[in-house]
Amino acid sequence: MPGGAETAAPFGRRLAEKIRARGALCAGIDPHPGLLDAWDLPRTVPGLEKFALSATEILAAEVAVIKPQSAFFEAFGAGGIAVLERVLAVAREAGALVLLDVKRGDIGSTMGAYTAAYLDGHSALAADAVTVSPYLGFGSLAPAIEAARAGGRGLFVLARTSNPDAAALQNALLPNGKTVAQSIVDEVAAVNAGTGPLGDVGVVVGATVSPGELDLSALGGPVLAPGFGAQGATVSDLRALFGRDLRGVLAASSRDLLRRGPDPAALRAGVREIQASIR
């Protein structure tokens, strides 16, 4: 069925089980033009399809979570979206959870439409979880939070991202003395209160962020940590930032992993090497 229909168990529970079984690596599917070139594929829809499906078939059998970056598919128009739909289906069939990286955030009926596109089980683009932006106010995410919980799906809310330009906004102090990023973490913690073993709403915190910037002790949900690998973050950085228990932390690797293709054996070996380092 489109989008995998409605799911039986809460996302947080399914994620915790998948991490126990497969480790905490989140493999990105980012069909960047430079990667298509490196794989000796044309910058066309057929080239995109060959790249994305080949990578997904290998990675989704190995990792807990597959994270397609929607923008690189959208750049190809309707044909690219059709490929993205196939990526979601292939990843799901291989047993991986799908975190669709869309970073959507709006208000009212527009947010409701995004919610229908990515969190409604009858949509061909429905994923197990999506990334969302709270920067029109955390309350603007209410439709997505409600829909995710109703359908057994999850959200990852941008809190403290790894791009250098984020610090000025996300570390700005509010009148209550908290940073913007900390206030987002606290809002997510309130949503997760009383759930377990892992809440359905997580946060995005870059693996390159300085230790001590955020208090995640009450979060109660998962953390997506981009910046692992290509942006320079190491397992030691993850442990310094999040503590030694990384069971709720998804280390995201995209281009650093995908550059090991197109040889399937090399790509598979790369996944296992990274997984071993995280464990």
Task: Please give the positions annotated as active site.
Answer: 103
133 Ramachandran zone, left/alpha/beta (phi>0; psi -120 to 50): beta
User: Any bridge partners for residue 157, and if so which?
Assistant: 132, 203
DSSP state of 210: P
Q: Residue 25, SS3?
A: strand
**159, 38 in Cβ contact below 8 A?**
no
Find where tokens 């807990």 sit: 64
Strand partners, 223: 203, 249
Tell me the C-alpha distance between 223 and 128, whole Å: 15
| 24: nearest Cα among 231, 253, 230, 191 | 253
3-state helix, strand, coil in the chain (%, to 5): 45, 15, 40
Give the CA angle between residues 84, 85, 91 to the nearest 5°: 85
Taking the C-alpha atoms of residue 259 and residue 257, their distance in angstroms, rounded to an integer, is 6
- CA separation for the pair 202, 192 (Å, rounded): 9
Q: How far is CA 230 from CA 226, 233, 267, in A?
A: 10, 8, 15
